[in-house]
Amino acid sequence: MSVFVEQPENHIGSLDMCALMGVSRYDTPISIFLKKKNKYKKNLDDSMFPIKMGRKLEPILLDLTQEYLKINIVSNGFNKRSHPEEPRFISVPDGFGVYKGEPAVIEMKSRATKNDKMDFYEIQTRWHMFVCQYEVGLLGILTGLRSFEIFEFKRNLDIEEEMKKRAYQFLEALEKNEIPDISDYPEIDLEALKHSKVELSSEVYEFDENDKSLFEQYFNLKADADKIEAEMGKIQAELMKKMYGFNEGRVDNFILTRKEYPAKPKIEVSLEFEEFLKKENVPYEIKKDKPIVRTRIFQKGEKNEPEN
């Protein structure tokens, strides 16, 4: 799982590398540069729910991988690893094992639906392999509660050379305090889906009968959460009605703010950087974002159950 790790300015981690390789949906070389220079607030920290959930899910997914592949896996315990020859290259893989006689670095991911993040996940895994100098990378992906797939990657020296080149190029920009030129970091096409899956990954996992209680707990909690969310919505609507015509309301130490975010197309960095780019005379291009596909967990027999 991707975890938040405080890094010195001149260190490159797996999420940084995704941005430098042009496959991150969350960052670009420019936003990474601004964050490392403390000119822009980091968008990840340990208090965020996805980060907390990732930490909770990791041992479960490592256990599933161990069960599927019948290998022994040792958790990394969120420890930071450094490249033996370049300590500025760091990574935090999820675990280690031996697969088909080769040392393997292991990365676990969870997502709500199958989407176009495969290159993003693969680059993270390959960066772990490169930093830790392991020949094999195993990437496990949990999609909702419906499927768990495992992908196997072999070291690719061409990809590693490209990652090294971009890492050193970015580190040089940091040292010179020069904003990276986005054209120097084009998106790399890994054709990640051509890689073969580990044998058992295409099969449907049959949960134990005892696991049924986990599903029941999930839906009970979801029902409670829906009620709480509905009540919160009513209260918020009432407060918003009282402060109609104002953008901020206060009482004691409580504050309610209202802010509109106009719907605009995205540029190669998110629109929040547009003023900064104009001020620094950095060229940019406006382009449409990819569509987002959403999914949900449901019970058979539920009203409005989706056909697919």
pLDDT of the residue at 264: 47
Whether 220 and 168 map to the same domain: the answer is no
Whether 161 is in a domain gets the answer yes
Mean per-residue pLDDT for 168-185?
Answer: 91
Mean pLDDT of 273-299: 60
Mean pLDDT on 248-257: 85
- pTM score: 0.60
User: Which of 113-127, 134-148, 282-296 is predicted with the least confidence, judged by mean pLDDT?
Assistant: 282-296
Q: What is the pLDDT of residues 180-225, one digit of tens each?
A: 988 888 887 666 434 444 555 566 777 888 888 888 888 888 889 9
pLDDT for 281: 72
Tell me the pLDDT of the chain averaged across its residues. Answer: 79
CATH of the domain at 68: 3.90.320.10
* Average pLDDT of the segment spanning 112-125: 81
Q: Assign 3-class secondary structure to the chain.
A: CCCCCCCCCCCECHHHHHHHCCCCCCCCHHHHHHHHCCCCCCCCCCCCHHHHHHHHHHHHHHHHHHHHHCCCEEECCCCCEECCCCCCEEECCCEEEEECCEEEEEEEEEECCCCCCHHHHHHHHHHHHHHHCCCEEEEEEEECCCEEEEEEEECCHHHHHHHHHHHHHHHHHHHHCCCCCHHHCCCCCCCHHHCCECHHHHCCCCCCHHHHHHHHHHHHHHHHHHHHHHHHHHHHHHHHHHCCCCCEEEECCEEEECCCCCCCCEECCCHHHHHHHHHCCCCCCEECCCCCCCCCCCCCCCCCCCCC
Judge whether 217 lies within some domain: yes
User: Average pLDDT, stretch 225-248?
Assistant: 87
Residue 186 in any domain: the answer is yes
Residue 90 lies in a domain: yes
pLDDT of 1 reads: 55
User: Residue 278 is part of which domain span?
Assistant: 210-287
Same domain, 94 and 185: yes
308 located within any domain: no
Residue 192, pLDDT score: 42
Q: What percent of the chain has pLDDT over 90?
A: 30
Of 13 and 256, more confident: 13
Q: Considering 150, 176, 206, which residue would you say is the last residue of a domain?
A: 206
Question: Which of 46-50, 113-117, 213-217, 268-272 shows the lowest mean pLDDT across its residues?
Answer: 268-272
How confident is the model over 52-80, as pLDDT tens digits? 776 778 888 899 899 889 999 999 888 99
For residue 304, is it within any domain? no
* pLDDT at residue 152, as a whole number: 92
User: What average pLDDT does range 158-180 have in this prediction?
Assistant: 92
Q: Are residues 255 and 182 in the same domain?
A: no
Q: Is the pLDDT of residue 259 over 90?
A: no
Question: What's the pLDDT tens digit per position in 4-44?
Answer: 445 567 899 999 999 999 988 888 999 899 888 887 665 55
Number of domains in the chain: 2
